Amino acid sequence: MQLVFATNNRHKLDEVAAKVGDKIELLTLSDIGCTDDIEETGITFHENASIKSHYIFEKYKLNCFGDDSGLEIDALNGEPGVYSARYAGEHGNHAANIEKVLHNLSGQTNRKARFRTVISLLWNGKEHFFEGAVEGTIRTELSGTEGFGYDPIFEPEGYNVTFAEMSMEQKNSISHRAKAMEQLIAFLSTVD
């Protein structure tokens, strides 16, 4: 079974590939010859995930999925949320994004947060959504070198380490993306 993952994010690709193993032949955008930058113009995770999957399905007529994920911080009214990758302005500047979060949380005692992922799967032209979340807190300083994005400041509930201090296998057993992918894999096991 082949399935296109509508992303150019190498970290996401690695995480998802590790999760699906040999259950699904995961195709990347480069595998299908897509070099387009799919613009995320939605204001919700659902909208952005759907934009990506529809773009690929309509252009290439291949079963595919897109995801959108982000960090929601209670004390910041859910920010950075859908703007997580470009919170400090420049898309994908992890250091600047973390710095802005830590600055905005300065003096806050409520550091509760969650990572959320929404996946839009287009299977034979029909859209299906899968969602995953992991609760945690925002640390006051960075810790760890693994992962990407906000991982060095996010401590998942029930752990005393950040995502950036976990191996990919550990993170993949509890992460928001892993939970959404488990639902997608379970769904695909029921289709032909």
Q: Active-site positions?
A: 68
| Radius of gyration for the chain, computed over Cα atoms and rounded to the nearest angstrom | 16
Q: Specify whether the CB–CB gap between 84 and 149 falls below 8 A.
A: yes
Which distant-in-sequence residues (6+ apart) come within 8 Å of 112 by Cβ? 73, 74, 75, 135, 136, 137
Taking each helix axis from N to C end, the angle separating 10-20 and 176-188, rounded to the nearest 10 degrees, works out to: 50
**Amino acid identity of 75?**
A
Write down how long the chain is. Answer: 192
Strand arrangement, sheet containing 126-138: 25-27, 2-5, 64-73, 112-123, 126-138, 154-156
Supply φ then ψ for residue 137, to 5 degrees: -135, 160
Task: Give the residue among 51, 66, 68 at the shortest CA–CA distance from 132.
Answer: 68
